[in-house]
């Protein structure tokens, strides 16, 4: 116990030194975004109604729920369209939606709770928890003497760490986007069969990394592996740990990996027929609790998570993260001077860096005018349209829930614009 406390204290000292020596960029609110405490026009927010009703009428999305909460109270809460187009069931406020990659924020937060306790450390090698990671190699594609593409496996310059998993700088990628080279092709079939988190981590350990750790922000299965680390470190399944330590205390009873209760299954928001191509969903009960994309939630549940984040990691008198850990989570760690590159598939987007599990707004970006938002906001979303934006500068967060893979981005971009357009200048 004493050794654990000393380790934890050492980590906090190192973190505070890092923040003091390399402080996050402090941008005045006048740089971009609404002025502090700007009034929010409810009349202008009503434009969201027109937009989403039109998206539903055009068949772009089946339905959606939007919640905007400011100063601890909802200022906009409406639902649109249908929960199930095939059966004609209207959208309801208790509808259950897949989170997909928004799950990563919950898993990352849970891992940081273990960092807080000294159970794991950011600089721990992943091989401490998944021993097979000690043998990982980077795949480097080249042409042989006949001009055929071949893959060389080269040693790591340093081990993959817990921090690499949190930052998506591990070299672990996804196989379904980007250049279909030999490394990406190696990930084909990774979802097939029945496996648990331990088995999935072993599948990843057998694959080549796409690049050396801490060289490129590369979206992939890092947080799925982090889920396995949580299991090994806590001695519980990922869901057991998250349920006991985070979800139940926060009051998020419907946020889970699989829906087995018939009443909950009936509340699941179904996608349009054109979007029913996702490999897995939470109605198909398996052993894999995907920390990178497996949770479902409701707007009420996600509002509890969002308010806790808006409060700096605390809710209803209970603190879930130490102040220093929360500051680290919401600080950009991959910006200028970090040695981490960005390519076309840098999903945080224009004006954003990346913290531990969240995109972090650092600057106005390159677009003119700047994309909407505020300095320091954090956000993430999922492949079917679950979207969470936490804006501490405005004491506001908003949630969009939909199950619309092909229509989600248009909705997210426009709802965010409409939200920030409603601030009085």
Q: What is the pLDDT of residues 200-250, one digit of tens each?
A: 999 999 999 999 999 999 999 999 999 999 999 999 999 999 999 999 999
pLDDT-based confidence at 387, cuts 50/70/90? very high
The whole-number pLDDT of residue 278 equals: 63
pLDDT at 390 over 80: yes
Q: What is the pLDDT of residue 29?
A: 40
Asked whether 45 and 67 are in contact (CB, 8 A), the reply is no
* Contact criterion met (CB below 8 Å) for 415 and 66: yes
pLDDT at residue number 399: 98
Closest C-alpha among 202, 201, 176 to residue 187: 176
Given a contact cutoff of 8 angstroms between Cβ atoms, the answer to whether 362 and 27 are in contact is: yes
How confident is residue 18, by pLDDT bands cut at 50, 70 and 90? very low
Closest CA to 68 of 97, 92, 46: 46
Averaged pLDDT of the chain: 92
Return the closest-CA partner of residue 291 out of 247, 213, 237, 345. Answer: 237
Lowest mean pLDDT among 28-37, 190-199, 211-220, 411-420: 28-37
Express as a percent the part of the chain with pLDDT over 90.
84
Separation between Cα atoms, residue 68 and residue 399, nearest integer Å: 7
Indicate the pTM of the whole model: 0.92
Query: Cα dist. 188→55, 173, 179, 209, 276 in Å?
Result: 34, 12, 13, 14, 20
Q: DSSP strand E in 85-125: where? A: 89-90, 97-98
**More confident: 392 or 36:** 392
CB 274 within 8 A of CB 285: no
For residue 383, the model assigns a pLDDT of 94
β-partners of residue 302 are: none
| Residue 9, pLDDT above cutoff 50 | no
- The DSSP element (H or E) to which 149 belongs, if any, is strand 149-155
What is the rounded CA–CA span in Å between residue 104 and residue 305? 13
Helix (H) or strand (E) holding 115: helix 103-116
Residue 392 near residue 306, CB atoms below 8 Å: no
Residue matched to tokens 């208790």: 94
Residue 12 Cα distances to 17, 107, 117, 281, angstroms: 8, 21, 11, 39
pLDDT of 13 strictly over 50: no
Helices (H), 238-298: 238-242, 248-250, 262-266
In this predicted model, which residue has the larger pLDDT, 18 or 288? Answer: 288
Is the Cβ–Cβ distance between 60 and 420 less than 8 Å? no
H helices present in 296-407, as ranges: 299-310, 323-329
Contact yes or no for 208/151 (Cβ under 8 A): yes
Higher pLDDT, 328 or 7: 328
Give Cβ neighbours of residue 54 (< 8 Å, ≥ 6 apart): none
SS3 65: strand
* Nearest-angstrom CA–CA distance, 82 and 28: 42
61's tokens: 């999305």
Phi, psi of 120 (to 5 degrees): -130, 160
Give 398's strand partners.
68, 389
The band of 66, judged by pLDDT with boundaries at 50, 70 and 90, is very high
Query: Which H or E run contains 360?
Result: strand 359-361
Percent of the chain with pLDDT over 70: 92
Q: Compute the distance between CA of residue 263 and CA of residue 56 in angstroms, rounded to an integer.
A: 25
Q: Are 66 and 78 in contact (CB under 8 A)?
A: yes
**How does residue 282 score in pLDDT terms, banded at 50, 70 and 90?**
confident
- Both tokens of 406, joined, read 């092909």
pLDDT, position 144 = 82
- Report the pLDDT value the prediction gives residue 16, as an integer from 0 to 100: 41
pLDDT of residue 277: 76
**pLDDT-derived band at 180, boundaries 50, 70, 90:** confident
Return the pLDDT at 279. 63
Report the distance separating Cα 387 and Cα 334, nearest Å.
Answer: 22
User: According to the per-residue pLDDT averaged within each range, which of 5-9, 17-21, 25-29, 38-42 is highest?
Assistant: 38-42
């Amino acid at each position: 116990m004493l050794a654990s406390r000393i380790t934890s204290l050492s980590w906090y000292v190192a973190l505070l030194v890092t923040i003091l020596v390399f402080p996050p960029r402090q941008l005045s609110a006048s740089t971009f975004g609404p002025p502090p405490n700007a009034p929010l026009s409810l009349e202008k927010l009503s434009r969201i109604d027109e937009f989403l009703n039109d998206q539903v009428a055009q068949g772009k999305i089946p339905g959606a729920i939007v919640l905007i909460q400011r100063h601890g109270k909802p200022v906009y809460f409406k639902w649109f369209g249908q929960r199930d187009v095939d059966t004609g069931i209207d959208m309801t406020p208790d509808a259950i939606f897949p989170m997909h990659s928004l799950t990563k924020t919950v898993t990352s937060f849970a891992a940081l709770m273990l960092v807080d306790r000294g159970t794991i450390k950011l600089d721990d090698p992943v091989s401490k928890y998944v021993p097979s990671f000690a043998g990982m190699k980077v795949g480097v594609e080249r042409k042989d003497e006949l001009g055929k593409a071949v893959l060389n496996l080269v040693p790591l310059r340093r081990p993959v760490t817990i921090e690499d998993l949190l930052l998506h700088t591990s070299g672990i990628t996804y196989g379904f986007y980007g250049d279909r080279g030999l490394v990406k092709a190696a990930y084909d079939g990774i979802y097939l069969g029945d496996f648990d988190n331990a088995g999935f981590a072993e599948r990843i350990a057998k694959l080549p990394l796409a690049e050396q750790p801490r060289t490129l922000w590369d979206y992939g299965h890092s947080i799925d592996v982090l889920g396995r680390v949580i299991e090994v470190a806590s001695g519980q399944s990922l869901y057991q740990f998250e349920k006991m330590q985070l979800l139940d205390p926060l009051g998020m009873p419907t946020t889970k990996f699989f829906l087995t209760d018939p009443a909950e299954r009936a509340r699941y928001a179904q996608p349009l027929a054109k979007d029913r191509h996702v490999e897995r969903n939470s109605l198909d009960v398996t052993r894999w609790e995907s920390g990178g994309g497996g949770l479902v939630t409701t707007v009420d549940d996600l509002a509890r998570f969002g308010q806790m984040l808006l409060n700096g990691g605390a809710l209803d008198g209970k603190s879930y993260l130490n102040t220093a850990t929360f500051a680290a989570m919401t600080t950009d760690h991959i910006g200028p001077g970090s040695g981490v590159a960005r390519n076309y598939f840098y999903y945080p987007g224009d004006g954003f860096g990346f913290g531990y599990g969240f995109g972090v707004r650092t600057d106005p970006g390159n677009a003119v005018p700047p994309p909407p938002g505020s300095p320091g906001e954090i956000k993430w979303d999922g492949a079917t349209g679950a979207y969470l934006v936490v804006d501490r500068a405005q004491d506001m967060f908003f949630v969009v829930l939909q199950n619309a893979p092909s229509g989600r981005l248009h909705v997210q971009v426009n709802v965010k614009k409409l939200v920030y357009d409603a601030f009085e200048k």
